[in-house]
Amino acid sequence: MHRVKGLGNLVKVFDFSEMKTQGFIGIILHAHLPFVRHPEYDHFFEESWLFEAITECYIPLIKTFDRLEKDQVNFRLTLSLSPTLISMLCDELLQERYVCYLKKQIELAEKEINRTRKDKQLHSLASWYLGLFLDTQKIYQDQYQRDLLSAFKKHYSSGNLELITCAATHGFLPLLNVNQASIRNQIHLGVEVFKKYFGFAPSGFWLPECGYYPGLEKNLEQAGIKYFFSDTHGVLHASQSPVNGVYAPLDCGNGITVFARDPESSRQVWSSQEGYPGDFDYREYYSDIGFDLDLDYIAPYILDGETRTNTGIKYHRVTGKQPKQIYQPVKAVEKAQIHARDFIDKRQQQISRLSEFMDRQPIIISPYDAELFGHWWFEGPIWLEYVLRFFDEPGSTVKTVSCSDYLRQFEHHQVAIPSASTWGDEGYSSYWINETNDWIYPLLHHAGADMEKLAEDFSQFVPQHSILERALNQAARSLLLAQASDWAFIIKSGTTTEYAKKRVVDHLARFNYLHESIRKNEINERTLVALEILDDIFPDIDFREYVVKAEKSVSALKKERFSP
């Protein structure tokens, strides 16, 4: 008998004899949120996307990694951090606003303890929430001094995490490639932002929405990337049949490798019908006191005191029928443990079968949106913790690895070009271009072409740090922010559509304003400053990267350009 470390000694497992590793699993979490930051308002509802994710996802994941490290559990996990998320996590305004948000959560939890004093179950839960929020505050403020990126970097340094990145503003590349410079800059700038904050270049790249088309690997190669991910059918429908299916990477012909998503492990976590998160014992996402309690009572903690929103305090479990029953955290943790064990068993069986007839040890690629863990699936981080602990048990035949680890072990791979694909509904681009959002693309393409022309016309003689250079850089920021795949996605999904539409229109309007100002040589510095404050992202952006047919490299242009 063997006790798994930590988790209050809840877990008892059998200790199998030491066995040779038969295969590997690569768990990839893609963490991304669109850039939402509104200094022009005191409070802005959509900023709470970040705040909720910090409380429910990023800090719980950090707590998981910290506990695993403390218990000396050997694990490898890949975390993709999008450049917009990186930028928001280290933005002082958003950090300050998150601290205020957390204080309100704590205040509400205290109020709830009083309100629920006559109901033992709810009272106990309210106290539990208060403890959770206080702990979150302690980790955010005291342990990491508001710098969550340092937590991820710490686990990178200790060898637990492989950190990779994504396109600059999560642009949906298959529909942006009318403008080659837009593709190049989404990738290049993404890598540069990552390097600035972490101090090293990422080996891997998460294509937004797993959106791949043949040829994209060349852009990735130019950015120094070694590998990326595609959805299952991207590899299954490759130019050559993949002899190892999706259980070994393909070489795209230029040395860049592609790893494909394993459908079975994906479905176990993702599927709304058969996935773990829908278990009746888990917390119900849609039951929140922001919607359930009297408006007068909850008003100070919701949007503008009138519009009902999530508060993060949820008292019910999924249940499966009405009325919803009260959430029991201990029971939910036990279920997470059972589900983790189930996941491990299935992966070991899967690897065992695969390894019989593969010419190398198979790797199962299991990528998930990080925000699924904790935000949508409240128990996700604890499930992940159990999974990583179980994989490190003596006798486990499957080991967690990063794709870089795998590539170091196996140097030669079958050469084939994946097929165009995404991980979205229907597997292609239809979620991002359809009757609800198709109006975006002509506008983005025209702005992309205008940006290329601006770069071509001005790149060689714009003085460094001049107002003109700042205006050109700001135009590039506006274009990039308009290109985020999130806006098309939200418009299609029908949630906060007005906000998403406004973001596209606002950024393109700002681009148009700057374009006209630059062309007319009538740049109003005060207005420019306002735009720089409004869209304060990518401080080191260089509009010259948008030059399409530069004979010389951008670095050469920088050296040659006039400095006053």
464 binds another protein (CB under 8 A): no
C-alpha–C-alpha distance, residues 387 and 342, integer Å = 9
* DSSP string over 104-151: HHHHHHHHHHHHTTT-HHHHHHHHHHHHHHHHHHIIIIIISTT-HHHH
369 binds another protein (CB under 8 A): no
311 binds another protein (CB under 8 A): no
Among the listed ranges 19-27, 99-107, 295-303, 431-439, the one in contact with another protein (CB under 8 A) is 431-439
Closer Cβ to another protein, 14 or 357, answer by number:
357
DSSP-assigned beta bridge partners for residue 377:
373
Shortest distance in whole angstroms from residue 330 CB to another protein: 30
Structure tokens at 68: 């695993």
Spatial CA neighbour of 86 closest among 161, 172, 150: 150
**Binding residues among 246-265 for another protein as defined by CB under 8 A:** 247, 261-264
**Binding residues among 201-240 for another protein as defined by CB under 8 A:** 213-214, 231-233, 236-237
Count the residues of the shown chain that bind another protein, applying the rule CB under 8 A. 80
Shortest distance in whole angstroms from residue 180 CB to another protein: 11
243 binds another protein (CB under 8 A): yes
Shortest distance in whole angstroms from residue 510 CB to another protein: 6
Q: 170 Cβ partners below 8 Å, 6+ apart?
A: 32, 34, 82, 84, 208, 484, 485, 486
**Would strands 23-31 and 77-81 be described as parallel, antiparallel, or unpaired?**
parallel
User: Which whole-number Å values give the CA distances from 197 to 73, 165, 536, 564, in the listed order?
Assistant: 27, 11, 16, 30
**Binding residues among 15-54 for another protein as defined by CB under 8 A:** 39-42
468 binds another protein (CB under 8 A): no
Shortest distance in whole angstroms from residue 362 CB to another protein: 9
242 binds another protein (CB under 8 A): yes
**Binding residues among 97-156 for another protein as defined by CB under 8 A:** none
Among the listed ranges 112-120, 243-251, 384-392, 549-557, the one in contact with another protein (CB under 8 A) is 243-251
Closer Cβ to another protein, 165 or 350, answer by number:
350
Among the listed ranges 78-86, 125-133, 320-328, 430-438, the one in contact with another protein (CB under 8 A) is 430-438
Shortest distance in whole angstroms from residue 256 CB to another protein: 19
DSSP 242: -
Structure tokens at 547: 């030059």
> Other C-beta atoms within 10 Å of 353: how many?
13
Among the listed ranges 79-87, 174-182, 185-193, 311-319, the one in contact with another protein (CB under 8 A) is 174-182
**Binding residues among 262-301 for another protein as defined by CB under 8 A:** 262-264, 266-267, 270-271, 273
421 binds another protein (CB under 8 A): yes
Element holding 81 (H helix, E strand): strand 77-81
DSSP-assigned beta bridge partners for residue 491:
none
Binding letters toward another protein, positions 326-365, x by CB under 8 A: -----------------------xx--xx-xxx-------
Structure tokens at 296: 């007068």
User: Which whole-number Å values give the CA distances from 153 to 53, 118, 157, 162, 198, in the listed order?
Assistant: 19, 45, 6, 9, 7
Closer Cβ to another protein, 119 or 525, answer by number:
525
Closer Cβ to another protein, 318 or 508, answer by number:
508
Shortest distance in whole angstroms from residue 434 CB to another protein: 8
Spatial CA neighbour of 227 closest among 482, 27, 30, 402: 402
**Binding residues among 64-83 for another protein as defined by CB under 8 A:** none
509 binds another protein (CB under 8 A): yes
Largest CA distance in the chain: 77
Strands (E), 332-484: 363-369, 398-400
**Binding residues among 176-205 for another protein as defined by CB under 8 A:** 178
Q: Which of 331, 465, 519, 552 binds another protein (CB under 8 A)?
A: 465
463 binds another protein (CB under 8 A): no
Spatial CA neighbour of 197 closest among 90, 304, 343, 283: 90
**Binding residues among 538-557 for another protein as defined by CB under 8 A:** 539
Place of tokens 């998503």: 261
Shortest distance in whole angstroms from residue 462 CB to another protein: 14
Shortest distance in whole angstroms from residue 118 CB to another protein: 43
DSSP 84: H
445 binds another protein (CB under 8 A): yes
DSSP 6: S
> Other C-beta atoms within 10 Å of 224: how many?
14
381 binds another protein (CB under 8 A): no
Spatial CA neighbour of 444 closest among 184, 209, 171: 171
Spatial CA neighbour of 329 closest among 59, 54, 7: 7
